[in-house]
Amino acid sequence: MRAAPQSAFLERLEHLLGAGGLLTAESDAAPFLVDQRELYRGKAIAVALPDTAQRVADVLELCNERGIAVVPQGGNTGYCGGATPDESGAQLLVSLKRLNRIRTVDALNYSLVAEAGCVLADVQRAADEADRFFPLSLGSEGTCQIGGNLSTNAGGLHVLRYGMMRDLVLGLEVALADGRLLSALTALRKDNTGYDIKSLFLGAEGTLGIITAASLKLYPRMSTAATAFAAVRDPRAAVQLLARLREASGDRVSSFELIPRLAVELTTRHIPGVRDPLDAPHAWYVLCELASARPADGLDAVLTESLQQALGAGLLTDAALARNEGERAGFWRLRETIPEAQRRDGASLKHDVAVPVAAIAQFIERAGAWVRANVPDGRLIAYGHVGDGNLHFNLNQAPGADRAAFMARGEAIKRVIHDMVVREFDGSFSAEHGIGRLKVGELERYAPPVELDLMRAVKHALDPNGILNPGKVLR
Ligand code: FAD
Ligand code: 2HG
Ligand code: ZN
pLDDT tens digit string along 226-242?
999 999 999 999 999 99
Instruction: Give the model confidence (pLDDT) of 170-186 as tens digits.
Output: 999 999 999 999 999 99
Query: Which of 38, 77, 79, 429 to mutate to test ligand 2, by most ligand atoms within 8 A of the CB atom?
Result: 79
Instruction: Give the model confidence (pLDDT) of 30-63 as tens digits.
Output: 999 999 999 999 999 999 999 999 999 999 999 9
Residue minimizing CA distance to atom 28 of ligand 1: 156
Angstrom distance (rounded) from CA 392 to CA 285: 15
Distance 385 CA to ligand 2 centre (A): 9
Angstrom distance (rounded) from CA 61 to CA 78: 26
Q: State whether the beta carbon of 384 lies less than 6 angstroms from ligand 2.
A: yes
Residue minimizing CA distance to atom 5 of ligand 2: 339
Contact 334, 270 (CB under 8 A): no
Contact 239, 326 (CB under 8 A): no
Angstrom distance (rounded) from CA 302 to CA 289: 11
Q: State whether the beta carbon of 211 lies less than 6 angstroms from ligand 1.
A: yes
Q: State whether the beta carbon of 392 lies less than 6 angstroms from ligand 2.
A: yes
Instruction: Give the model confidence (pLDDT) of 335-371 as tens digits.
Output: 999 999 999 999 999 999 999 999 999 999 999 999 9
Query: Which of 49, 80, 140 to mutate to test ligand 1, by most ligand atoms within 8 A of the CB atom?
Result: 140
Q: State whether the beta carbon of 339 lies less than 6 angstroms from ligand 2.
A: yes
Per-state percent for the chain, helix, strand, coil, to nearest 5: 40, 20, 40
Strands 111-115 and 352-354: unpaired
CB-based burial, 153-162: b 16+ in 10 Å, e otherwise: bbbbbbbbbb
Q: Please tell me the predicted confidence (pLDDT) of residue 318.
A: 98
- What angle, rounded to 10 degrees, do the helices at 325-336 and 338-345 form? 50
Distance 332 CA to ligand 1 centre (A): 20
Q: State whether the beta carbon of 139 lies less than 6 angstroms from ligand 2.
A: yes
Closest-lying ligand 1 atom to the alpha carbon of residue 145: 51
pLDDT classification of 295: cutoffs 50, 70, 90: confident
Decide if pLDDT at 76 tops 80. yes
> Any residues with CB less than 8 A from the CB of 114 and at least 6 apart, and which?
101, 102, 103, 123, 126, 146, 213, 214, 216
- What angle, rounded to 10 degrees, do the helices at 235-248 and 299-312 form? 140
Query: Which of 35, 37, 47, 77 to mutate to test ligand 1, by most ligand atoms within 8 A of the CB atom?
Result: 77
Residue minimizing CA distance to atom 21 of ligand 1: 206
Angstrom distance (rounded) from CA 279 to CA 264: 12
Angstrom distance (rounded) from CA 289 to CA 245: 10
Q: Please tell me the predicted confidence (pLDDT) of residue 5.
A: 59
Decide if pLDDT at 392 tops 70. yes
- Domains of the chain with CATH codes: 6-95 (3.30.43.10), 102-220 (3.30.465.10), 224-334 (3.30.70.2190), 346-432 (3.30.70.2740)
Distance 466 CA to ligand 3 centre (A): 30
Angstrom distance (rounded) from CA 80 to CA 152: 10
Cross-strand pairs, 153: none
Instruction: Give the model confidence (pLDDT) of 407-428 as tens digits.
Output: 999 999 999 999 999 999 999 9
Q: Please tell me the predicted confidence (pLDDT) of residue 2.
A: 47
What's the mean pLDDT in 137-151?
A: 98
Distance 386 CA to ligand 3 centre (A): 10
Q: State whether the beta carbon of 350 lies less than 6 angstroms from ligand 2.
A: yes
Decide if pLDDT at 112 tops 50. yes
Query: Which of 352, 385, 438 to mutate to test ligand 2, by most ligand atoms within 8 A of the CB atom?
Result: 352
What's the mean pLDDT in 209-235?
A: 97
Average pLDDT for the chain:
97
Q: Where are the alpha helices (DSSP H) in 348-428?
A: 360-374, 403-408, 410-419, 425
Residue minimizing CA distance to atom 26 of ligand 1: 156
Q: Please tell me the predicted confidence (pLDDT) of residue 1.
A: 46
Q: Please tell me the predicted confidence (pLDDT) of residue 296.
A: 78
Distance 388 CA to ligand 2 centre (A): 14
Decide if pLDDT at 251 tops 80. yes
Ligand nearest to the CA of 200: 1
Decide if pLDDT at 224 tops 80. yes
Closest-lying ligand 1 atom to the alpha carbon of residue 78: 2
Ligand nearest to the CA of 121: 1
